């Protein structure tokens, strides 16, 4: 077994992550900002009676500054470093949880691989217009401020990331199903009771 771990460059606990009586205890929601990860995640966690974890909130707590400040002072690489540490700590916690990830987590090969290896992954899909509308409804005007082509930029980002998001185990259209329908679809997929 040690030679297998050495060949794969994985610790023994990672090789067997998710196996055994408890199985995988984390459900991770991925998708662009405005896909519904926070709203669906909170509702899903309530339905499953487990903790809800916003990865970006934990990143801000760990860094002691806002996401904007992290990117401004440390750049994307600094953000990725803190995100990887936070993700590792959350995944190492044996308690079940629903995770809402940052929209760009799929662009970090290592973090995205770890997430897929250690959690059940669900891509929350929505139309680009829905992403923008939802973000602005939360009071965040950044996607539009000074960006006359925000929707086209978002469409380009979504097109570039779609193959990565597509590696998630399940894709759910939040526009078609709404929050309750999305929660029901994920519960059905997990074999968990739904409301």
The domain spanning residue 142 has which CATH number? 3.40.50.300
* DSSP annotation string for 45-104: HHHHT-EEEEHHHHHHHHHTS-HHHHHHHHHHHHHHHHHHHHHHHHHH--S-EEEE--TT
Do residues 108 and 83 touch, judged by C-beta distance below 8 A? yes
The answer to whether position 16 is within a domain reads no
**Which residues form the domain of 63?**
26-190
The answer to whether position 138 is within a domain reads yes
Q: What is the pLDDT of residues 150-180, one digit of tens each?
A: 677 778 888 899 999 999 999 999 989 999 9
Average per-residue pLDDT in the chain?
82
Residue 128 binned pLDDT confidence (cut-offs 50, 70, 90) = confident
Residue 116, SS3 per DSSP: helix
The answer to whether position 195 is within a domain reads no
Higher pLDDT, 19 or 1: 1
Task: Please indicate, yes or no, whether the overall pTM of this predicted structure exceeds 0.85.
Answer: no
Q: What is the pLDDT of residues 52-62, one digit of tens each?
A: 999 999 999 99
């Amino acid at each position: 077994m040690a030679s297998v771990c050495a060949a794969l460059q994985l610790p023994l606990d990672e090789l067997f992550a998710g196996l055994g009586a408890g199985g995988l205890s984390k459900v991770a929601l991925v998708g662009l900002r405005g896909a519904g990860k926070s709203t669906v995640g909170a509702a899903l966690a309530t339905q499953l009676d487990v903790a809800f974890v916003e990865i970006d909130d934990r990143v801000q707590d760990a860094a002691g500054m806002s996401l904007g400040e992290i990117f401004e002072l440390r750049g994307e690489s600094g953000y990725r470093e803190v995100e990887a540490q936070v993700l590792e700590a959350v995944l190492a916690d044996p308690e079940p949880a629903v995770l809402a990830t940052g929209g760009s987590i799929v662009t970090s090969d290592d973090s995205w691989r770890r997430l897929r290896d250690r959690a059940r992954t669900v891509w929350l899909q929505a139309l680009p217009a829905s992403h923008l509308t939802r973000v602005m409804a939360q009071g965040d005007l950044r996607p539009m401020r000074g960006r006359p082509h925000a929707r086209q930029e978002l469409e380009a980002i979504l097109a570039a990331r779609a193959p990565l998001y597509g590696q998630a185990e399940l894709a759910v259209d939040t526009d078609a199903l709404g929050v309750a329908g999305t929660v029901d679809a994920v519960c059905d997929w997990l074999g968990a009771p739904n409301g």
